[in-house]
Amino acid sequence: MAVRHYDSLVIGSGPGGEGAAMMLAKNGGKICLVEKYGEIGGGCTHWGTIPSKSLRQAVQQIADYRNDPLLRRVVGPVDIAYPDLLKAADAVIAQQTGMRERFYYRNNVDVVTGHARFVDEHTIEVETARGASERYSADHFVIASGSRPYHPSDVDFEHPRVHDSDSILRLDFSPRSITIYGAGVVGCEYASIFANFGLKVNLVNVRKQLLAFLDDEITDALGYHLRNQGVVIRNDEEYDRVEALDDGVVLHCRSGKRMKSDVLLWANGRTGNSQDMGLEALGLVIDHRGQIGISEHYQTSKPHIYAVGDVVGPPSLASASYDQGRFAATHILHGTAGSMLLSHIPTGIYTKPEISSLGPTEYELTEQRVPYEVGRAMFRSIARAQITGNTVGMVKLLFHTESLAILGIHCFGEQACEIIHIGQAIMSQPGDGNTLKYFAETTFNYPTMAEAYRVAALNGLNRVF
C-alpha cells in the first residue's frame, strides 16, 4: 500500500485540530487533517457548542416575544414545536462548515475523510465509511479527537425518551417536561434553555452545590434564578435506576425520590474519544475516562505525538481546545511554546443569566491568604441595563489591596461572556499595567455595559482608601 508522507498529521477537525492544523500550515508545513464525520468542524460545530447556542438563541427569541405585551397583542400567541426550533442551528452550521472548508483549502491542508488508527508510531491507516483504507505517515501527529457523552451500561439510550447531549438535538417531538441528570455546565445550560421554553424541568445534581468551581456569589445567583424560572433543583442525589416507559421516564434516586417526566437528558460526564485508534499498542497512557495522558507541552509518552482538546480532559472548552492546538503546533515548530495562551482561560456558561469568570474566586484567594478587596457593580444600577431591561446581573472585581492589580473577575447577567473580556484585557497586562485604576481613570461610552467596570472600580477603591 502506497503511503503518503506529511510533516504533520492532525486527527479531528474540531477547534483543537483546527488550531493546530492552521498554525502548522501557515508556517509552511505539509499538513494532512483526518476527520471521520462527513463534514468538518468537529463536535463543536455539529453536536456541541454551535447547535446548543443556536437553540438557546431561538428559545430566547420566543421567550422575549411571549414576555412582550405589545407583540402578543398585535401578533397573537406563538406556538413553535421543539423540532422546528432545532432548525435554527442549520444555517449557522452550514456557514461555519463552509468557512472552515475554505480555510483548509486556502492553506493547502489536505483533508481526508475517515477513521484514523495508528499502525505504527509514524503511520496511520484511515478507513473510509465504505470500508476502503489508505495509509499516511508523518513526522508529528496531533490527536484532537474530542469526547462523547458518558453512557452508564444500565441506562437504555436506545429508548426514544432517554437522551444525551448529542441526541437531545435530534428529539422529534415537543416534550412538556424533562429531567436532567447531571448539573455541570451542559446540564445547567440545558435546564435554562428548557425552562425558558416553558417545560417543567428537574435538575438533578450529583454534587452538594451547583457549579462549585465558580465564585459563591455567582453560584447562589444561578441557583436563585434557575429556581425563579421554575427549575426544581435536587442537590446531592444519585440515581438508582432509570425506568423508561411508553409515556415517560422515571428516574429513581438512591434517596428514594422518583421523578417522572416526558424525557430524560443524561448529562453526567464525558469520555475521551481515544478508543479504536491503536493508541494502547503504542504505549500511550489512557485513563478510565478515555483521556490521554500528556506532559505540560501536550506531548504524549511518544514525544512526536501530541494530544489536545477534550480528549485530554478539562477544561473541555472549544476556546481552550483551539489554543491548545495552537500551543502544540508552536511546540512542534519551535520545540518550545509560551504558556501565555493557556493561563487564565475564562469560563463562559450560557445559562440565563449568562455567567463568565476569570481567575481565582474569593474562596481561593482567602485560602491562599492573598490580601484582596472586592469592587461590585450591580446591573440594575447601570443605565444601559435599565434601557435594555436586562437588570439582572453583576460585575465583581477582586483586586490586590496593595498593588490594586486585578486578580479575578466574576460576572453574571446578559452578555456576561462578552463583558468579561474588557476586564481580561487589563488583567492580562504585565506589571503595573494591570491596575484597577484603569477603570476609574478611563472615560467609557455612556450608556454602556462597560461602564459597570468603572462603577465596580470606584466601589472597590472606596473600600481601600
Ligand X SMILES: Cc1cc2nc3c(=O)[nH]c(=O)nc-3n(C[C@H](O)[C@H](O)[C@H](O)COP(=O)(O)OP(=O)(O)OC[C@H]3O[C@@H](n4cnc5c(N)ncnc54)[C@H](O)[C@@H]3O)c2cc1C
273 closest CA partner among 380, 169, 144, 178: 144
Strands 133-143 and 147-149, by their bridges, are unpaired
Question: Binder to ligand X among 53, 135, 151, 376 (CB under 6 A)?
Answer: 53
Helix (H), strand (E) at residue 177? strand 177-181
Binding of ligand X by 165 (CB under 6 A): yes
CA distance 431 to 428: 9
Binding of ligand X by 187 (CB under 6 A): no
Question: Interaction with ligand X in 276-305: which residues (CB under 6 A)?
Answer: 277
DSSP 405: -
Contact window for ligand X (CB under 6 A) among 66-74, 252-260, 310-318, 339-347: 310-318
53 closest CA partner among 450, 423, 417: 417
Binding of ligand X by 313 (CB under 6 A): no
Nine cell digits for residue 56? 438557546
- Each as own residue / partner, the long-range contacts of residues 150-156 (CB below 8 Å, 24 or more positions apart, any chain) are 150/268, 150/269, 150/270, 150/271, 150/289, 151/266, 152/266, 154/241, 154/242, 155/242, 155/266, 156/242, 156/244
Sheet holding 162-164, edge to edge: 162-164, 263-266, 177-181, 200-204, 232-234
Binding of ligand X by 188 (CB under 6 A): no
Helix (H), strand (E) at residue 329? helix 318-334
Binding of ligand X by 35 (CB under 6 A): yes
Count of residues that interact with ligand X, criterion CB under 6 A: 37
Strands 133-143 and 305-307, by their bridges, are parallel
Backbone angles phi, psi at 372, to 5 degrees: -135, 160
Binding of ligand X by 15 (CB under 6 A): yes
Pick 41 or 393: Cβ nearer ligand X: 41
Binding of ligand X by 272 (CB under 6 A): no
Pick 37 or 379: Cβ nearer ligand X: 37
Helix (H), strand (E) at residue 259? strand 258-261
Residue labelled with grid coordinates 421567550: 63
Helix (H), strand (E) at residue 93? helix 88-106
Pick 68 or 280: Cβ nearer ligand X: 280
Question: Binder to ligand X among 318, 332, 407, 409 (CB under 6 A)?
Answer: 318
CA torsion 29→30→36→42, rounded to 10°? 30
Pick 116 or 397: Cβ nearer ligand X: 116
- Give CA separation, 56 vs 134, 215, 249, 255, 444, in Å: 41, 24, 24, 32, 30
Question: Binder to ligand X among 8, 49, 202, 390 (CB under 6 A)?
Answer: 49
DSSP 387: H
Binding of ligand X by 86 (CB under 6 A): no
Pick 292 or 397: Cβ nearer ligand X: 292
Q: How far is the CB of 164 from ligand X (least distance, A)?
A: 9
Q: How far is the CB of 314 from ligand X (least distance, A)?
A: 10
Question: Binder to ligand X among 34, 265, 332, 449 (CB under 6 A)?
Answer: 34
Binding of ligand X by 191 (CB under 6 A): no
Binding of ligand X by 12 (CB under 6 A): yes
Question: Binder to ligand X among 192, 273, 415, 435 (CB under 6 A)?
Answer: 273
Question: Binder to ligand X among 313, 348, 353, 375 (CB under 6 A)?
Answer: 348
451 closest CA partner among 358, 400, 381: 381
Q: How far is the CB of 125 from ligand X (least distance, A)?
A: 10
Query: Are 171 and 163 contacting, i.e. CB atoms less than 8 angstroms apart?
Result: yes
Binding of ligand X by 182 (CB under 6 A): no
Residue labelled with grid coordinates 463562559: 348
Question: Binder to ligand X among 29, 48, 393, 408 (CB under 6 A)?
Answer: 48
Pick 221 or 349: Cβ nearer ligand X: 349
Binding of ligand X by 52 (CB under 6 A): yes
Pick 348 or 423: Cβ nearer ligand X: 348
Binding of ligand X by 316 (CB under 6 A): yes
Binding of ligand X by 13 (CB under 6 A): yes
Pick 14 or 353: Cβ nearer ligand X: 14
Strands 355-358 and 347-349, by their bridges, are antiparallel
Q: Alpha-carbon torsion 462, 379, 359, 195, what sign? A: positive
* Angle 345-351-356 from CA coordinates, rounded to 5°: 25
Q: How far is the CB of 421 from ligand X (least distance, A)?
A: 14
Pick 29 or 48: Cβ nearer ligand X: 48
Query: Are 32 and 112 contacting, i.e. CB atoms less than 8 angstroms apart?
Result: yes
Question: Interaction with ligand X in 116-155: which residues (CB under 6 A)?
Answer: 116, 144-146
Pick 149 or 223: Cβ nearer ligand X: 149
Residues that bind ligand X (CB under 6 A): 11-17, 34-37, 42-44, 48-49, 52-53, 115-116, 144-146, 165, 186, 273, 277, 309-311, 316-319, 321, 348, 350
